[in-house]
């Protein structure tokens, strides 16, 4: 299950994590985001214990969204040691997302 990440939990959950973190920036009204949602949940299950997988609702967490320049959603950022190491914009197949996250384990 993907974690819900907020402006207030972002630093502890993402930046201070000792594991790679995949963050899906999304919104309730976004059609492609709803398509990507189940894929992100599958990735969260597959990588449980190896990586952190979370979601940021851009409407409710504008501070983090602005800080990372999120202009199009869905956008997936992969963090390692507090730094962005990879990025995907739009809907991508599970295999592509899993491959990108695996590269940072």
pTM for this prediction: 0.97
DSSP classification of residue 2: P
Under the banding of pLDDT at 50, 70 and 90, the label for residue 46 is: very high
The interaxial angle of helices 94-102 and 31-46, nearest 10 deg, is 50
pLDDT digits 0-9 by tens, 19-30: 999 999 999 999
Top CATH class, 3-103: alpha beta
Would you please indicate which residues are annotated as catalytic (active-site) residues? 30, 33
Backbone angles phi, psi at 26, to 5 degrees: -145, 175
CA distance 13 to 35: 25
47-84 burial: b if 16+ Cβ within 10 Å, else e: beeebbbbbbbbeebeebbeebebeebbbbbbbbeeee
Q: Across residues 41-69, what is the average pLDDT?
A: 97
Under the banding of pLDDT at 50, 70 and 90, the label for residue 14 is: very high
């Amino acid at each position: 299950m993907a974690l819900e990440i907020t402006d207030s939990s972002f630093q502890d959950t993402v930046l201070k994590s000792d594991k790679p973190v995949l963050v899906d920036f999304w919104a309730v009204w976004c059609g492609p985001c709803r398509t990507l949602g189940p894929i992100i949940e599958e990735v969260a299950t597959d990588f449980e214990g190896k990586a952190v997988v979370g979601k940021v609702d851009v409407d409710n967490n504008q501070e983090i969204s602005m800080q990372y320049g999120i202009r199009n959603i869905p956008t997936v950022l992969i963090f390692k040691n507090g730094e962005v190491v990879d990025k995907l914009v739009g809907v991508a197949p599970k295999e592509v997302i899993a491959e990108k996250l695996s590269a940072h384990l």
